Every structure is written in structure tokens, then in C-alpha cells.
């Protein structure tokens, strides 16, 4: 296949001013690299955020009593917990489904008292769904069939000055607004690394929760999928398969502040990427415009010879695409080692976070990793080619305005 002369013309033109072409390529490459790193780090951060939310016991989605979103009352219970569990656990997309029941509790030991959110759990499922349940520092976690046992956070243990096998006096908000009492023996102490988080952890079995509150069943089923990207696809499927009276909601509805943060982060990231690309476009526009201005006579001659506007547009865009393609490769070469480093070793933010990585009940991982993958290649080319093409629009318009009469004159075109 023979390369058209317009293509040869475009490529060779770029070699006329090697330094300018190189600077343009580096400009595109650096802009592309910055955009790629930001997207890569943001994608990695989002993945960690989703994982942190899911691993904190919230799951990717939840089955809750219809109307839970409006008042978020702990007293509400699922209409048919068994059928709900069966429906979601039969799906191959589900990694784990864990039932929960919540209530507020006052824990007392001797003269010391502290508040906590008591969580009734199915111990085996809880250990699979929640990183918190796996963070036992002393003793053990709850086991199936445990009665009268509890696992508490290390901050609570410090405040109450208790240790394993001590018995806590528990006061809970129960059915119909009543207050109920009970005794629970500490079988394990959890240390998540977050004092705030450890100040509210108090896990009991669902059976103990039922007997303490007088409310049967679970108030929610947290669901973690094998792949968080399937959330939108699975919601309607679960809505069809669970009995009426219960609703399927996603983590966005459960934690609207986290969803807001995510949207804010994305907007901020996109604004920064937009600014970077805009700066690149302005730089390339300047270089491309200079290249066109220097060749005004040449364009005048081409028009005089009968070159059509569309062919001039093609010529200039071809030049831009070559710069863009080389810029994309340059960007990939520049940023791949950085992305590889941050994807494999991560960046540890524990110092910045001051040792507490919990926020809104979510226990975040302190180390952030970039997302490195083949998506970077089309992304780099899309950003670089789009930037250079956009940057060529004004120079193209300028070239099309060149007066062909100047081709017949030695005066400036």
C-alpha cells in the first residue's frame, strides 16, 4: 500500500522544525502523563474506597425494609429475611451476604459506662464480609451458636477498663421504645487501628440481639459482590427476586456522604485534568499556529495549485495526529514507571490521616494504589489525539483564510 503524498507531506513537515515538534510532543506527552496518573490514581482510590466501604460491613448494596431510607430506624426489620438471603446467596455475582440487626446500647462495667452501636451478626458471614470482624486483637470473634457473648472495640475496653471474660451490663433500646437489660461476656476485643471506630464496636449474635430487643430477624442484609462494577446491573435483578416489602439499595443510598465525596473527588479530578489539557491545547495551538503562519506562502501556493479546503484541513490534522500519536507514546513512557510504582507499592497516607482512617463508619485502608492496566493505552491516545486535533482547529481556520493571490507575489502572504 502506498502512502499518500499528503501524509508524507504532513510527516516530513514535522521534521522541518525538529525542536518545535519535539517540544510539542513533550508538551502533549507531559499533559497526557499527568492526566493518566490522575485517572490511574483516582481509579485506584475509587476501587479502595469501594472495597473499604464493602469491607467495613456495608457491602456494595443492601436489602433493607421498604422505607428504611426515609427514617433509618434500627427497629425496622426485613419482611422475609430467609427468602431474601436465599435469593441473593443463589446469585453467582454475590461474594457474601450478611444479615445485620442494629440498636443503640449502653455498656457498663462497675462504675464506668459508655455508649455503642450494638450489631447483631451471623458470625461466619460477618467474618467474611467485614474487615472489622477480622481485626480481633485479643480473644476470638463470635462463633455460630454463641450466646451471651460479645466482641467489643479496644477503645470501649479501655474506657470501661475491661478485659476478656469480664461481664458487661448492657442496656439497649428495644421493641416499642422500651429499655431492656442483659449481661454479656467479652470473648474478644477488636482493634481496627481507628480509635473512633473502636469506640463504637459491640458485636453480638443475631439470636442475642433478638432476645435483648425483642425484635425478630435482621434489619438489613449487606451484600458484597465479586466485582463492584456490577452493582448497577445487579440491583434490578435482586429487586425482581426478593419478596415484596423489602427494598434493594446501593451503598450510595446507605452512605450518601461518601457518594457525595466520591462525586466531589471525581469533579475535582476532572477539573484538574481539564485544566492540564487546556494548558496543553493552548501550548500546542500556539506551536501549530506558528507553524501555519510560517507557511502562509506555502498554503497560498497549494491553494493556487487547486488544493481544496478539505485537503488543507486533512494535511494540518494529519500533522496534528502524528504529534498526538508520538505524544501519547511519550506520555505512556513517562508515566508507566510511576504508575507501576504506585500500583505495586502504593502511597501510604497514614501519616496524613493522623493514625485514624475511619470516616462515617467506614474503615479506610491507609495505603492508596494506582490502577495500572491496558485502559491506559486507549486513554493516552484519546487524550493526546483529541488535544492535538482541538489545538489545530484555529490554525486550520487560519490556513483556510490564506489568500491565494499572495502565491504570485514575493510580498508576504
- Nearest CA to 313 out of 393, 383, 402 is that of 393
Tell the smallest beta-carbon distance from residue 301 to other proteins (Å).
4
Q: Lay out the site mask for other proteins across 333-372 (x = CB under 8 A, - = otherwise).
A: ----------------------------------------
Judged by CB under 8 A, the stretch of 39-47, 279-287, 326-334, 399-407 that binds other proteins is: 399-407
Instruction: Count residues binding other proteins (CB under 8 A).
Output: 28
Tell the smallest beta-carbon distance from residue 314 to other proteins (Å).
11
Tell the smallest beta-carbon distance from residue 305 to other proteins (Å).
6
Answer yes or no whether residue 8 interacts with other proteins by CB under 8 A.
yes
Answer yes or no whether residue 410 interacts with other proteins by CB under 8 A.
yes
Judged by CB under 8 A, the stretch of 62-70, 72-80, 146-154, 400-408 that binds other proteins is: 400-408
Cβ nearer to other proteins, comparing 92 with 411:
411
Judged by CB under 8 A, the stretch of 3-11, 102-110, 136-144, 273-281 that binds other proteins is: 3-11
Cβ nearer to other proteins, comparing 15 with 92:
15
Tell the smallest beta-carbon distance from residue 385 to other proteins (Å).
23
- Footprint of other proteins on residues 285-324 (CB under 8 A)? 297-298, 301-309, 311
Answer yes or no whether residue 12 interacts with other proteins by CB under 8 A.
yes
Answer yes or no whether residue 408 interacts with other proteins by CB under 8 A.
yes
Answer yes or no whether residue 6 interacts with other proteins by CB under 8 A.
yes
Which residues are near other proteins by CB under 8 A? 2, 4-6, 8-9, 12-13, 15-16, 297-298, 301-309, 311, 404-405, 407-410
Amino acid at each position: 500500500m502506498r502512502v499518500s503524498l499528503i501524509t508524507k507531506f504532513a510527516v516530513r513537515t514535522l521534521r522541518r522544525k525538529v525542536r518545535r515538534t519535539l517540544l510539542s510532543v513533550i508538551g502533549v506527552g507531559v499533559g497526557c502523563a499527568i492526566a493518566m496518573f490522575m485517572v490511574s490514581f483516582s481509579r485506584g482510590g475509587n476501587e479502595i474506597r469501594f472495597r473499604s466501604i464493602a469491607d467495613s460491613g456495608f457491602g456494595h448494596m443492601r436489602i433493607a425494609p421498604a422505607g428504611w431510607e426515609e427514617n433509618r430506624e434500627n427497629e425496622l426489620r426485613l419482611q422475609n429475611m430467609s427468602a431474601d438471603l436465599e435469593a441473593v446467596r443463589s446469585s453467582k455475582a454475590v461474594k457474601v451476604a450478611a444479615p445485620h440487626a442494629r440498636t443503640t446500647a449502653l455498656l457498663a462495667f462497675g462504675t464506668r459506662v459508655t455508649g455503642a452501636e450494638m450489631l447483631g451478626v451471623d458470625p461466619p458471614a460477618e467474618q467474611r464480609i467485614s474487615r472489622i470482624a477480622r481485626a480481633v486483637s485479643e480473644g476470638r470473634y463470635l462463633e455460630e451458636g454463641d450466646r451471651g457473648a460479645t466482641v467489643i472495640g479496644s477503645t470501649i475496653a479501655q474506657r470501661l477498663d475491661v478485659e476478656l471474660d469480664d461481664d458487661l451490663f448492657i442496656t439497649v433500646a428495644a421493641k416499642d421504645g422500651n429499655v431492656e437489660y442483659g449481661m454479656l461476656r467479652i470473648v474478644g476485643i477488636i482493634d481496627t487501628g481507628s480509635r473512633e471506630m473502636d469506640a463504637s464496636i459491640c458485636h453480638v449474635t443475631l439470636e442475642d440481639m433478638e432476645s435483648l430487643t425483642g425484635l425478630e430477624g435482621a434489619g438489613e442484609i449487606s451484600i458484597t459482590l465479586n466485582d463492584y462494577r456490577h452493582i448497577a446491573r445487579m440491583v434490578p435483578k435482586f429487586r425482581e427476586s426478593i419478596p415484596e416489602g423489602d427494598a434493594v439499595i446501593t451503598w450510595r443510598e446507605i452512605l450518601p456522604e461518601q457518594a457525595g465525596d466520591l462525586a466531589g473527588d471525581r469533579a475535582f479530578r476532572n477539573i484538574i485534568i481539564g485544566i492540564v489539557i487546556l494548558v496543553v491545547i493552548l501550548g500546542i495551538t500556539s506551536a501549530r499556529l506558528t507553524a501555519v503562519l510560517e507557511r502562509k506562502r506555502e498554503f497560498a501556493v497549494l491553494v493556487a495549485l487547486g488544493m481544496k479546503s478539505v485537503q488543507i484541513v486533512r494535511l494540518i490534522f494529519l500533522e496534528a495526529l502524528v504529534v498526538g500519536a508520538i505524544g501519547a507514546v511519550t506520555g505512556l513512557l513517562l508515566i508507566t514507571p510511576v504508575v507501576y510504582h504506585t500500583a505495586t507499592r502504593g502511597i501510604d497516607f497514614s501519616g496524613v490521616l493522623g493514625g485514624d482512617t475511619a470516616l462515617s463508619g467506614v474503615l479506610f485502608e491507609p495505603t492508596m494504589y494506582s490502577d495500572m492496566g491496558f485502559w491506559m493505552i486507549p486513554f493516552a491516545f484519546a487524550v493526546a489525539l483529541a488535544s492535538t486535533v482541538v489545538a489545530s482547529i484555529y490554525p486550520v481556520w487560519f490556513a483556510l483564510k490564506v489568500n491565494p493571490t499572495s502565491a504570485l507575489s514575493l510580498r508576504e502572504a
